[in-house]
Amino acid sequence: MSDQIPYLSFFLSAFIGIGLAAASGFRVFLPLFAVSIASYMHWIPVNENFQWLSSVPTLIISGIATIVEILAYYIPYVDHLLDTLSVPLATIAGSVLFASQFTDLGTFPTWALALIAGGGTAAAISSGFAGTRLASTATTGGLGNAAVATTETTGAGVMSFLALASPVIAFVAAVLLIIVLYVFGRKALLNIKKTIAKQPLYK
C-alpha cells in the first residue's frame, strides 16, 4: 500500500505524531509511557535516535511518572502548580514524541516539524485545559477540578490509543479538539471575567 500511495508512510508518521502530541497536551508522561510500551513490544518503529524509548529503564521510569502525575492532579493547589509547568513540559514531550515517529527523515526537517506540529499541538491543548481548570476553580471553588483531572487523564489515554491504533482518527480528533478548546476556552474566560467584574469588592 505504501508503494502505491506516495508519501503514505510520511503522513502516517505525522498523524501518529500529532495524536501523541495531542495526548501530551492532556498528560505529559502517559503518552510517553504508551510509546515506550509499544516500541518495547515492537508494535511501532521509532527513529534510531529514539531507541531509548523502548528500553526497560524508560519503561519503568515513565510508568512511575505517569502514576505520580495522574494522582498529583487530584491534590488541591498542586494541580494549579502543575498547570504552570504543563505547557512547556507538554511542548517538549509533544515535540519528542512527534520526532520519534520519523525513521527516514533528516534531522533538521524532523525537528522543525516536531517543534511546529508536535510542540504546537501539545501546547495548544495543554493551555486550553489549564484555562478549563481555572474556570472550574472560579465557578465551583475547586470542587469540579477532580472531574477536569479525570477528563484530562481519559483524554490522554484515548488519544494515545488512537494515535497508535488509528492515526487518521487521532489526527482528526486532535484538530477538532484544538478548535473546540479555542472557541469555548475564549468564551469561558470571558464569562469568568464578567462574573468577577460583577462581584463587589467588599461584602
Q: In this predicted model, which residue has the larger pLDDT, 79 or 62?
A: 62
- Model confidence, pTM: 0.85
Query: What are the tens digits of pLDDT across the range 114-149?
Result: 999 999 999 999 988 877 777 777 777 777 888 889
Locate 141 and state its grid cell: 471553588
Phi first, then psi: what are they for 33, rounded to 5°? -65, -40
Locate 27 and state its grid cell: 498528560
